[in-house]
Chains A and B, each alone.
Chain A
Amino acid sequence: MSPIGLNHFLALGAVLFCLGTYGVLTRRNAIAVLLSLELMFNAVNLNLVAFARFMPNLDGVVLAVFVIAVAAAEATVGVALVLSIYRNFRHIDLDQVDTMKG
């Protein structure tokens, strides 16, 4: 059996990213959608850290630190928006948050 290499990490990252995308597209609960978004961001982190491990420098880790910070900010705004949805609709079922039609 070959040792675990870069491709294993990248494959895991790709699977996580696809799971996240699937979750965003199919979940109805707003919190679950936020969780799926986090999954997508963390797939990127996994990629970056894996690349950094197999590169001569640490640039990838620096990138990942920034991504974590940005993901945290996104989550904050996302939860604020979920609250605003709840205040107006009394539920957070995104399928029913669709009043505009064109």
Chain B
Amino acid sequence: MTNALTMLQALAPEVVVAATAFLVMGLDLRRNPNPRAQATVAIWGLLAGALATVPDWLDTAASNSALTLWGGIFVADPLSVVFRALACLTGALVLLFSIDPIDTERRNPGDFVTLVPFVVLGLMLAVSAGELLTFFVAFEIVSLPLYLMAAWNRNERGSAEAGMKYFITGSVSSAVMLYGISLVFGTVGTTFFSQIATRYETLADPPQAFVLGSLMILAALGFKIAAAPFHIWAPDVYQGAPRPSAMFISTAPKAAMVAVMLRLFWGTLALQGRDFRLAETWMVLLAVMAILSMFWGNLVALAQTDIRRLMACSGIAHIGYTLLGVLAASRAGAELEGAAAAIYYVVVYSFANLAAWGVIVLVGWRTGSDRIQDYSGLARRSPFLAFALLISLLSLAGAPPLAGFLGKFYLFRALWEAQPAWWWMVLIAIVNSVISLYYYFGILKPVYFGAPQDQTSALVVPWRFRAGLLICLAVIMVLGLFPELTRITLEAGAAILAQPGAP
């Protein structure tokens, strides 16, 4: 019963964000474009998009149902609502943090501002896609602007190089994903998530090509979230890309792709056929990816002297933790816990990462340096920035009472409850958390106890940065202090259980 009104309600956030994107693009075409005005319009548009997800939430969360459009191509359920709102907020915060730096570096700030709402639009469609092709196209709407944002600083070698590296790895992963989609489609004859598993179950002689296809899709998603062994591009891209772009690349697509992973691999394939024969295959692969990501990220981060490369490595490690949640979700009986833990973790990671990158963007803009030694004495130059960095890094490290601690706790508990025989994996994750403490404190020590180097002047924090950082810190603290709020992620997880049936 999809009448025009439910359709409009389900699509309202996308409509708002798409309108914003085109409006901002139009504003850029004027004779004297004003990037600050464009960014303001974009920020309000994205916030309106986040607000427009509320009716969907009220409609679907209470009854744990989903609004589906066009026979299941587009699905608005609590999972997609959480991640659509997250994408909008991430985009708005990135713009808030970037408008001051990009406007003063006289490049072409309008381009940057225009690309952000388009990426957000793609993310929103990707997390709501109920079908492989829709997901793929949405996903390209995300990737293409991000390649350009990485290469956005035209006159800098590092930026061009980062853009090219991101483009080549990203395009290869897109091609791999497409090849996987073609194999899945060819073997089961459908691209709808809700039908893939059931069709597969009915095949008398299940072809191996289906396994190959779904594993290629998994590998391509691994590229996009920068999980080891598909992570090689991340440090170079984060270091070379303009800082605001790197901030965006390190948060929004990762969160959305984790949601897609949950929806596709766990919600669709593992769950629709309870004893689906493939789950065991990719549980091994997920475990390998998780463990490799944690170790590679944390150990390589120890050796970094550039804070952007360090954040890239730490991001890889965090994806490793998140994959543990996806892994736990693949286990019958622990689906809800695992999915909810993974969702909670990426949400918390996004905000903590945005806060840390906000500080990196500001310090890099003011001092032109990303070396950790240049953060020496930051607490004296700007107590507020130092405090923001302290809270965000402690949350990433998993210190109580911040949200990062709860996130790790939920993940490890979900993994333990899913399969007590995996105690060694929980142990590995805890060991890795301890390793990560070392390099996070490696940043915080010079910030608080180091003497300011050559520049001893105070760092002025513009109001946009102050506001953005305060929002991120508030989210980190509130989510940590009031865990009842995580009910939202539980409901989003439950939504996958209530996947819409065949259209």
Q: Give A contacts to B, CB under 8 Å.
A: 10, 13, 17, 20-21, 24, 30, 33, 37, 40-41, 43-44, 47-48, 50-51, 55, 59-60, 62-63, 66-67, 70, 73-74, 77-78, 80-82, 84-85, 87-89, 94, 97-100, 102
Contact = CB atoms under 8 A, between A and B. Distances in A.
B172 A24 contact: yes
B interface, size bucket: 35 or more
30 contacts: A13-B182, A20-B175, A37-B175, A55-B189, A59-B189, A59-B190, A60-B185, A63-B191, A66-B133, A66-B136, A70-B137, A70-B174, A73-B140, A74-B171, A77-B167, A78-B167, A81-B167, A82-B164, A84-B151, A84-B164, A85-B161, A87-B154, A88-B155, A98-B161, A99-B157, A100-B158, A100-B239, A102-B239, A102-B306, A102-B309
Contacts of A66: 133, 136-137
Contacts of A82: 164
A44 B168 CA distance: 17
Given A37-B175, A44-B175, A74-B174, A99 B182 contact: no
A37 B172 contact: yes
Contacts, number: 122
B235 interface: yes
B136, B157, B190 — most chain A CB neighbours (10 Å):
B157
B174 to A, nearest CB: 7
Contact of A44 (B164, B178, B190, B191): B178
Interface of B: 133, 136-137, 140, 144, 147-148, 151, 154-158, 160-164, 167-168, 171-172, 174-176, 178-179, 181-183, 185-186, 189-191, 209, 235-236, 239-240, 300, 304, 306, 309
Given A17-B179, A66-B137, 18 more contacts: A10-B209, A13-B182, A37-B171, A37-B172, A48-B182, A60-B186, A63-B181, A70-B136, A74-B140, A81-B151, A82-B164, A84-B160, A85-B160, A88-B154, A88-B157, A98-B161, A99-B157, A102-B300
Contacts of A88: 154-157, 160-161
Contact of B164 (A17, A30, A87): A30
